[in-house]
Amino acid sequence: MNALARRIARMIEMDGPIDIGTYMLLALHDREMGFYATRESIGAGGAFITAPEISQVFGELIGLWCAECWRQQGCPARPLLVDLGPGRGTLVTDVLRATRTAPDFLQSLEVVLVETSARLASVQRERLADAPVPMRWVQRWSDVEHRGRPVFIIANEFFDALPIRQFVMTERGWCERMVVAGADGLAFGLSPQASPVHDDGIARAGAVYETCPMAMSLAQEIGAAMATDGGAALLIDYGYAGRQYRDTLQAVRDHNRTDVLAGPGEADLSAHVDFAAIAEAVRGAGARAYGPVAQGDFLRALGIELRGEQLARANPDCAAEIAGGIARLVKSEAMGTLFKVLAITPRDAPSPPGFAIC
């Protein structure tokens, strides 16, 4: 066991088994040994590569999407752009570059980056030192101070890292999967008592049900912000639309999957996003949800291939690299189908770009 695993084991020995969400929070966010505090998470040298790192066109299109949603809602004053989990700042950099073509939006904009990692925040500050708009950093959504302002939210591969809970169907009913400590290290176990889980009655023994209370709470808060003050949100992640009974928790280290419990703090942990549950929470808060739609379909609807051709003509030496990046974002065998896109707007706002009225 590594040092963080030993600390978690001692905690379990003193206080009893912990749920998977608590384990994820410790493994990802421990200030001294958590993954985001100590590891390079994004890029060729990290655990994974995100869409903004693959092609600049991704962030450019999202920036123009935000500007168009702002115009659709009558160009409200003092718009706020919030990036949840901004990584290395690549996405915001591309968004701001693209919105120079929408100066009325850019000139009135303030940007807030929600980042829990001090290391990543430092990288972002350096990259965005010459940003053309005011910038603020906060550690959580509740610190954004968005009241009374239209808020435009980007959450790219953010919801998948929020802590989940898992329940397994047994002869006793739905028993929560817990993390326990044994002689050989950390392991999974089941709570002895069944938990109340609202299911559809078709789950069989061994089925796994996942829920993410933090995602539902955040979705409700975002929906309420849209309903009260306007704006738009774009959630982009891998996930599913409709209840599934399977274990989607995974650990990724150096671009390869690894054991979830083997080395807490040494791998990124994530789980697939339940977009249907998020959409329901948003609607319950008084806003409107669109999608989810496949990332490839969404980006094509925004004109990613045309923009790629323009870039290739301007940079012929990079034409193959540009085309390869765009193909990776939109092709079904790459990210185009696995990743989904959900939009949130006020109920009375027009249908946002890339989404059919629903």
pLDDT of residue 43: 47
Q: Which pLDDT score is estimated for 210?
A: 95
Q: For the whole prediction, is pTM greater than 0.75?
A: yes
Structure tokens at 260: 């979830």
pLDDT at 111 over 70: yes
Query: Residue 358: pLDDT band by 50, 70, 90 thresholds?
Result: very low
Residue 42: pLDDT band with limits 50, 70, 90: low
- Per-residue pLDDT, averaged over 114-121, amounts to 91
The mean pLDDT value of the chain amounts to 93
CATH of domain 3-346: 3.40.50.12710
Range of lowest pLDDT (36-40, 50-54, 68-72, 102-106): 36-40
Task: Quick: pLDDT tens for 161-185.
Answer: 999 999 999 999 999 999 999 888 9
What is the predicted pLDDT for the residue at 70? 98
Please state, for a pLDDT cut of 70, what percent of the chain lies above it. 97
Residue 189 has pLDDT above 60, yes or no: yes
**CA angle, 48 as apex, 304 and 152 as ends, to 5°?**
50
| Tokens (6 digits) for 327 | 């193909």
pLDDT in the model for residue 243? 81
Where do the domains of the chain lie?
3-346
pLDDT (0 to 100) of residue 152: 98
Above 80 in pLDDT, residue 68?
yes
How does pLDDT run across 258-294, given as a tens digit for each residue? 999 999 999 999 999 999 999 999 999 999 999 999 9
- pLDDT confidence tier of residue 351, bands split at 50, 70 and 90: very high
pLDDT tens readout for residues 286-317: 999 999 999 999 999 999 999 999 989 999 99
State pLDDT tens for residues 196-224.
Answer: 887 777 889 999 999 999 999 999 999 99
String of b and e for 139-154 (b: at least 16 CB within 10 Å)?
eebeebebeebbbbbb
Asked whether residue 191 carries a pLDDT value surpassing 70, the answer given is yes
Q: How confident is the model at residue 41 (pLDDT cuts 50, 70, 90)?
A: low
Angle between helices 3-15 and 20-29 (to 10 degrees): 150
**Model pLDDT, residue 38:** 83
Listed range (6-10, 60-64, 116-120, 156-160) with the worst mean pLDDT: 116-120
**What would the pLDDT profile of 216-247 be if each residue is shown by its tens digit?**
999 999 999 999 999 999 999 999 988 889 99
Is residue 63 pLDDT above 50, yes or no?
yes
